[in-house]
């Protein structure tokens, strides 16, 4: 895989995944819908902080694993393929729902939903977004499974891994800006079963394709 192919392929995958509604989207929309613009931006920056941390840790850890242990590589490869296959199949088979999935909280702001009790500040949103991202183990497993596939053998693993992570962060910032600008309209559209079902089908097919590729060792 050439550098250019790796960059474009990774951009396609994370672009589709960024557009797929999930916990991060629900958290941003919910915070913005409450009229807390500064806190919503804090949530966005916190989510992307978590993404950058996951990408950095994955780049460092995978580099050592791949160069030190064949058994570790095979274990990681099959675990990653299994996870991607499960995630893609879940997207393809999941039934659309108007509300959040059972794994997603219905009240993302907890007891501080009253604006008077929780001022619109950046720092609380940043903490909320960062913790939500870092405490989601699927985010770490996803990066461990996906990132190594897009690092060309001749490229420096850490530097290229950080470059790929930066692409993911950039897409996340762009999409979050759109969400914040059109929070009400987008929340209505994204709750439509047909829209969610279409995104699930497209993204699920892409993820399964990469699962098969990883399992075959290509």
- Measure the CA–CA gap between 172 and 174, rounded to whole angstroms: 6
Token duo for residue 67? 């160069």
Asked if 67 and 149 count as a contact pair (C-beta separation under 8 A), the reply is: no
Least confident stretch, 55-69, 71-85, 150-164? 55-69
What pLDDT does 172 receive? 93
- Measure the CA–CA gap between 80 and 187, rounded to whole angstroms: 32
| Model pLDDT for residues 163-198, shown as the tens digit of each residue | 999 999 999 999 999 888 876 565 566 556 776 677
Using a pLDDT cut of 90, give the percent of the chain over it.
14
More reliable by pLDDT, 155 or 75: 155
Mean pLDDT of the chain: 75
The size of the chain, in residues, is 218
pTM over 0.85: no
Structurally, the chain folds into a number of domains equal to 1
Range(s) of the domain holding residue 177: 3-216
For 110, the 3-state DSSP assignment is helix
pLDDT at residue 97 is higher than 50: no
| Model pLDDT for residues 111-142, shown as the tens digit of each residue | 444 444 456 788 888 988 888 777 665 677 77
């Amino acid at each position: 895989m050439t550098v250019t192919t790796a960059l474009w392929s990774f951009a396609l995958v994370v672009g589709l995944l960024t557009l797929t509604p999930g916990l991060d989207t629900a958290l941003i929309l919910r915070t913005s819908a409450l009229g807390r613009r500064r806190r919503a931006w804090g949530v966005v920056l916190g989510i992307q902080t978590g993404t950058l941390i996951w990408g950095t840790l994955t780049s460092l850890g995978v580099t050592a694993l791949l160069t030190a242990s064949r058994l570790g590589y095979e274990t990681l490869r099959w675990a990653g393929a299994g996870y991607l296959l499960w995630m893609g199949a879940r997207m393809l088979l999941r039934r659309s729902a108007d509300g959040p999935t059972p794994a997603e909280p219905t009240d993302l702001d907890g007891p501080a939903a009253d604006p008077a009790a929780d001022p619109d500040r950046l720092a609380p949103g940043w903490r909320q977004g960062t913790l939500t991202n870092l405490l989601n183990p699927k985010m770490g497993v996803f990066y461990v499974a996906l990132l190594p596939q897009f690092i060309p053998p001749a490229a420096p693993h850490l530097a290229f891994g950080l470059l790929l992570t930066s692409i993911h962060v950039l897409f996340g910032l762009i999409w979050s800006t759109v969400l914040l600008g059109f929070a009400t309209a987008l929340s209505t559209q994204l709750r439509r079963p047909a829209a969610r079902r279409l995104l699930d089908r497209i993204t699920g097919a892409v993820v399964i394709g990469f699962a098969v590729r990883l399992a075959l060792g290509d």
